[in-house]
Structure 1
Amino acid sequence: MAREETMVSVEGPDGSRELRISSPSRLLWPEAGVSKLDLAHYMIAVGAAFLAANGDRPITLQRFSGNVDGEQFFSKNPPKGAPDFVRAVDVVYPSGRSHPQLVIDEIAAAVWAVQMNTVVFHPWASRAANPDNPDQLRIDLDPQPGTWFKDAIPAARELRQVLAEAGLTGFIKTSGNRGLHVFAPIEPAHEFLEVRHAVIAAARELERRMPEQVTTAWWKEERGARVFVDFNQANRDRTIAGAYSPRALPAATVSCPLEWDELDDADPLQYTVATVPGRLQATGDPWAGMHNSPGSLEALLGWWERDLAAGLGELPFPPDFPKMPGEPPRVQPSRARNKEPGQP
């Protein structure tokens, strides 16, 4: 039996490219009825906005062997057989080792990634030419059990004000799931650790203003029914789904940029592979021109130093990171309290 496949035409800087899509009718999202070919057409439809948000950055591909309910894996290295219009850039991981990572320069590369069973695109906060210095400050507002998307909205609005007071302009998007992502363009003048410290400073200021609604507690047992400000997403090699990236969730939702005045009425389930192309065509890209006026981290880093002087130090890093200077013990608080005196 002949393999099912089709060809799609993708316009780009060097003209039209003809790309093969195998198993085009396979439903990647069975519940939503969205096929692999539908996803390829989606990427073409949102191409310019997707590239503006995710292009020219090291990117990790979240790939699936079947549909979004099945086995998945992450590709950091360029997959074998990558076409000549797909490039890579060497990046340094937290371990200190260096390795090439995929970069998307035209939408044909994203469509090729779909052919390689990619569903979610995870771009770095830095550019390919300067991977060690982010040009985006990113803050992930993650509602914890007992809270929902609507609980992240007032936190996002107050965070926008915090960033404005620090001289930064906040941009908002849905995560595609329960939360919200707030980005601010910054000058690429600081390494990841300093950007993380700026994020922690903003997160602590937000927590001071909304202590009943927001938390920076790393350990889940301490968060309660609040919105967690995930500062660890600012680390090197930590990524969140890019703007206009689909999510591997039943409704085929998309991480969708919004205007701030849309936020109160927003519903993450409204922004899907089926609906976002039409929305983009009708209203334009809320993140267009994001990087026209990047801001400085000087104020936030000043807040970080102020908090250090007040006794607020480093926060925990992800468990796969090497032990970092000033980091508190990586032990769950309840386990630490239950240890016998003198027990290692």
Structure 2
Amino acid sequence: MTQLHENIEKQRKEAIEFLTLYKNENALSNQWLRDRLDEIKQEQKYIPTTEELVFGARVAWRNSNRCIGRLFWNSLQVFDERQVETEEEVYKALLRHIEFATNGGKIRPTITIFKPNSIRIWNYQLIRYAGYETEEGIIGDSDSIELTRICEELGWKGERTPFDILPFVIQIGSNKPALFEIPKKYVLEVAIRHPQYEELAQLNLKWYAVPMVSNMKLSVGGIEFNAAPFNGWYMGTEIGARNLADVNRYNLLPTVARIMGLETKSNISLWKDRALVELNLAVLHSFKEDGVSIVDHHTAAQQFKLFEQQEVEANRQVTGNWSWLIPPVSPATTHIFHKPIENLIKKPNYFYQKNPF
């Protein structure tokens, strides 16, 4: 059997498995499934209906082993944009996604799905800060240095501040990637301040409100949608314990420790731990005060426990990647830390894909 025939057979098998799942969870008849499979056989390929695509995207979230926020999987808003053909149309659809998902801070879990195999969004997230290498050190997000350099080669010029919003980089087929600036009115950001340490506000820190992942592909029924940006809302530790704290990101723990007056010459003072907690408190305080959706890691763990209970009641196996599910702050205070969980990959699902650059 050739590789092509193997791929066709694999896609056919996945389509049957997915439609069987769709039938069972939507209480449809066996006759419906037979009729649907006959349609696919006549068309010689599986093209999901919008209803099937909505179901698939939601179940993919339910199956996302690295996500602690799966309790809300069935609330995902799905925009079917498979009719889109041009870069300009993709750009406008992405702006619609940002506006709908942001919702003035009352964030709505959202995914926008474009046609498979032809569209790529080069950005890691739809909204992301640029990173610049300078003689004085890195300005901005060091995780964005490579994409920032590419954007500059394509003609973009940032202001070279720590928080420049990168443009969209959209590619269709083998076309040259196209740049599109994101109008500022679409980007909701939160200024980071602390309820006790007022000097923290003088750092002029901020973070964008909605984490919209755009570099993963959605796999549904044997079809891979390479452009399918999606979002929930932030768990505070994603910003306070990783984005702003990691040494290879904004590396702010020494600065926060200085503001707090901590002894940083010895590890025994636990200055990193204390600074980390206060930085996370600042993030949660700032988002809450601005009315922007966010969840702390203790509440997120409690919500995951409810998700586990729902899955057991539905006779579905709970799967997960333990190392991703435990929060980066005080993981042993959550029930997840103390129990095993099988990292079994089920489809539909979201998968990382090779960078196009």
Q: Report if TM-score (shorter chain) is over 0.5.
A: no
TM-score by structure 1 length? 0.26
User: Larger relative CO (CA 8 A, sep 6+): 1 or 2?
Assistant: 2
- Which protein has the larger Cα radius of gyration, Structure 1 or Structure 2? 2
Query: Comparing both structures, which one devotes a greater share of its residues to helix?
Result: 2
TM-score by structure 2 length? 0.25
